[in-house]
Amino acid sequence: MHNKATTFFFYVSKNLYRSARTLNFSCLISVIIFHRIVVTAPLRLNGSGGIYQPHQNKCPSLVHECYENSYLNSICYELSDQLQKISSFKPAFQKCTKKPVDLVFLFDGSASMTEDEFKKNKDFIEDIMNSLKNTSIKFAAVQFSSTVHKVFDFNDYAAKRAFDKLMKDKHLKTLTNTHKALEFIFDQIFDNKTAGASPDATKALILITDGDPSDTDRKGIIKKYDEKNIIRLVIGIKDAQLDKFRAIASEPKDKNAFKIENYDGLKGVLENFQKKIFAVEGSKGARAGNLTDEMSQSGFSAVFNKDTLILGSVGTNSWRGSLQERRDKTETIEDQEMEMDSYMGYSVSVGERGGVSLYFTGAPRFQHTGQVVLFKQNSNNWTTAQRITGDQIGSYFGAELCSVDINSDGDTDFLLVGAPTFYQLQEKKEGQIYIYTLTDELQLKSELIVMGPSMGRFGTTISSLADLNGDELRDVAVGAPLEDDNRGAVYIYLGDRHRGIRSTFSQRITGDKITPGIRFFGQAIDGGVGIKEDGLPDIVIGSQGAAVVLSSKPVFNVMAHLSFHPKEISTEKLDCQGAEGNLLMVTLTACFEMVEATKSKQGRSLIHSGLNITYMFAVDPMRQKHRGFFTQTDTKTRSLTSTYELKDEMTCLNFSIYMHKCVIDTLSPISIKLNFSQADSETANITLNMDSKKQSAVEVPFEKQCRKNDTCIAELDVKFKFETPTLLVTENNYFNVTIHLKNDGDDSYNTSLIMFYPPGLSFSRMTLIKVTIKIHYKTIQFYLNSTFKNPKAHQRATFQSAFHVMYNNLLTSTLTESIPVQFEIKMILTVNQDSTTYLNFTSDETAPKEMNITYRVRQRSTTFFAPRTGLMSNNIFTDRSLRYNTGFKEFPATITLEFPTQLEHSFEMKSYQIFVKEVILCLNTAAPYENIEP
């Protein structure tokens, strides 16, 4: 069988079946309906193969002998439940129809080779004859150089003189007249009965040379060889040019001409040439490449469809491939458009939709990219319904196929196609699988592509499994036998109703965790049958020399239910007026309900084996500042993590949650979230379903006292007044505003009081003077934004706000409520110490003299001059003074100068005048000195 099957809830049982020798054991695994494991070992007995069950094996010979030559034709056996043979048949078997073969070795004896190389030539010929001595092949040998020399003929070989003559033959050591030697063999060996040639024998020649021909084909000897269907295999060594001696080889030339670097390489091509000669001997015709069913390898893949056995025959018709359908008789199914060397039949899978039988088969070498062919049955005929071609050269697209009836309703829903050597250069990943939906029109539609996680031939095997997690969908296992340095791995993908499988694997099972030293784990997979008869699916995974049984675990869904008491958070004890301490918010109850998702026979008794979970609670997880905590003395414990073992269908746990006495936001409910997971999923006897909803959440509301159910309608009223009738701008002065807030309706939440004030004021503080409610508020500079939390119904509060008066930015005296603004005046008058001015008069000098006195008045940075001029008849003195304005604002000033006109000693002042000599004004300063009185 080729039906295979898997997911993420497996543990490894102790059933590990090994072979005594490395025989490519478990290349194919089947779990039959009698709950026995059948494992193949195709390399047992030198390739004849064998089949095994635990503690028992059957080793039937699958070798077909013909004239003492072995053919590996397939044999299919029908076995009883005790693995006893009922019947057998040989698909695509052909009777022995071999002809005798006359084969001539033509080896180079020119001077370009050493004696040691010449001896290696003869050793190679001897090895070929020894390996094929029990066949229908007769041998002859000819050495050539400038001359041609027969070493031994067919009669000598039959008389057992050939080996002795070959060893005694001398090295000619001259030129390389290759075409002359070919003419000699054609006339004197192949067409000469006295040399022992058989008229009806297939004729073949092996040419071994290390140089290009010294002569030309003047007589058309190559054409004569073609006309007589003489097969030519050519080995070029050392300096021989490939294009020169390829012309001598027969078709197909690329397969019948070889180039090696030196004579040591002859040993390396020995096995390949044995196969070439074997193909010549066993063919019905005279030309290589005309093989039909002798090498079909029927049974390379196999699958049962009801009462019909379908076999893949990859070698049929020059490796185009075919399917062999066997019921009462054998019928061959072919694709007429399939090309040579495509290997159709490499994989095969069956399906059915709408009552129509379908065959899927892979041809992974089609045009080097691979192809999948869909056959559908019309009456008794099979026709090609669709072909899908791979998209990367060398990816081996179609090497593995797996049809999936996702919901087990009898209709095939999806086809999974493996491309195990698909290579992603950037990601360094190898292998991927393609998922196709099978439509009602019986067409495959691309649905999903899943790439291999790493290097390792992901997609080498794909198997449909029974439902592992209890969602009533079939699941899938994918093998990557070369992963982890050839130790191998198997990936489990859960089924998806719409896409076939989920895009991400649910479990990765590695070979090294199964048993040390295991290799190629995952090269064969079969599942879907409960070997242990516990109601749960098991799978068998093959590796080199061992088959491993994996048993699935019971899967449980766990539902979490959260509740709390009381139903609302009381706000009666909340106090934000400097109160310290914490309060009990609610008591939280978390109940975990366990229900088995799978259908094990143990049922409820499995619950008592226990399921360890790790749970975590979080309070207000989406808020930067949380309002609840789990430890009464530690307000930072907004989360709680712990582990608990569930052993009952319903398990409930209680938790106390606390809050601070001052909670600002009592409008939005407090969110409490729960997350949980299984603590020991790998070692536990039961498993938490990965599809379980592993989280739960509740919102705990604060109590509301509203007249209309839960809708609160507040009736807010605000008033404010100034504490002084005038805003006085003085140094270190404060301006106070009293605010009255009341609520005559329901509770008000997130209430904000915004007071705008000019830049000349700097908000300093807000003080609660009188309150009949517990209230919280905050302030913001530049404009006052006081937020009042939850003013209760029919309550009042009075605040006083203080503003610092800033003179340098005050640009206006207008507020929302008008108030006069007065500025403080500050002027300083200073008098210089040298305030006396002297005039000297003598009896001889009695004429009047002029005296100029300048008074300078400074107002902050403003400078102006008020000069006074007078004529004096006697000696007088005057004073000069400076005035400074140190207030907040410029102001108009009147300057009065007083002086006597009649002086002592008959002096008098006359012709006096006062005028402004100079005025220096600063920005935003009006002309303040226009009123000057004498």
DSSP E strands in 405-522: the ranges are: 414-424, 429-438, 444-451, 461-465, 475-480, 489-493, 495-496, 500-501, 507-510
Confidence of residue 301 (pLDDT cuts 50, 70, 90): confident
Q: Residue 722: pLDDT above 90?
A: no
| Higher per-residue confidence, 417 vs 235 | 417
pLDDT of residue 815: 36
- Is residue 872's pLDDT more than 50? no
Inter-residue contact 430 to 486 (CB < 8 Å): no
Res. 338 pLDDT band, cuts 50 70 90: very high
pLDDT in tens, 243-270: 777 888 888 888 788 777 776 655 555 5
Helices (H), 729-860: none
> What pLDDT shows up at residue 275?
58
Query: Which pLDDT score is estimated for 437?
Result: 96
pLDDT at 876: 35
Count CB neighbours of 601 within 10 A. 13
Q: pLDDT higher for 780 or 570? A: 570
Closest CA to 728 of 823, 643, 854: 823
Residues whose CB falls within 8 Å of the CB of residue 399, separated by 6 or more in sequence, listed in order:
346, 347, 362, 364, 370, 418, 419, 420, 421, 459, 460
Is the confidence at residue 172, as pLDDT, over 80?
A: yes
- Chain centroid, CA 491 distance in Å: 15
Q: What pLDDT band is residue 529 in, cutting at 50, 70 and 90?
A: low
Across the range 127-149, mean pLDDT stands at 86
Q: To the nearest 10°, the Cα dihedral for 132, 138, 141, 142?
A: -140
Among 108-117, 191-200, 240-249, 263-272, the range scoring the smallest mean pLDDT is 263-272
What are 87-103's pLDDT values in tens digits?
766 665 555 545 688 99
- Res 901: pLDDT: 77
- Above 60 in pLDDT, residue 880? no
pLDDT at 282: 47
Alpha helices (runs of H) in 132-220, residue ranges in sequence order: 154-158, 162-168, 178-185
pLDDT in tens, 362-395: 999 999 999 999 999 888 889 999 999 999 999 9
Give pTM, 2 decimals: 0.59
What was the pLDDT predicted at 431?
94
pLDDT at site 584? 92
Residue 835: predicted pLDDT: 61
pLDDT at position 70, please? 53
Q: How far apart are CA 452 and CA 481, in angstroms?
A: 12
Lowest mean pLDDT among 198-202, 203-207, 748-752: 748-752
**Could you read off the pLDDT of 701-718 as tens digits, one per residue?**
988 877 776 677 888 888
pLDDT for 561 equals 95
Highest mean pLDDT among 51-65, 254-268, 853-867, 895-909 belongs to 895-909
Residue 490 pLDDT: 95
Q: In whole angstroms, how large is the CA radius of gyration of the chain?
A: 54
Say what percent of the chain tops pLDDT 70. Answer: 74
Give the pLDDT mean for 198-202: 85
Split at pLDDT 50, 70, 90, the class of 33 is: very low
pLDDT at 435: 96
Instruction: Report the pLDDT value the prediction gives residue 303, as an integer from 0 to 100.
Output: 87
Per-residue pLDDT at 658: 93
Contact 319, 343 (CB under 8 A): yes
Residue 869: pLDDT above 50? no
pLDDT recorded at residue 833? 57
Other beta carbons within 10 Å of 367 = 13
Residue 152 confidence (pLDDT) above 50: yes
The mean of the pLDDT values for the chain is 78
So what's the pLDDT on residue 94?
A: 53
| pLDDT of res. 834 | 61
Q: Considering only residues 213 and 272, tell me which one the structure prediction assigns the higher pLDDT.
A: 213
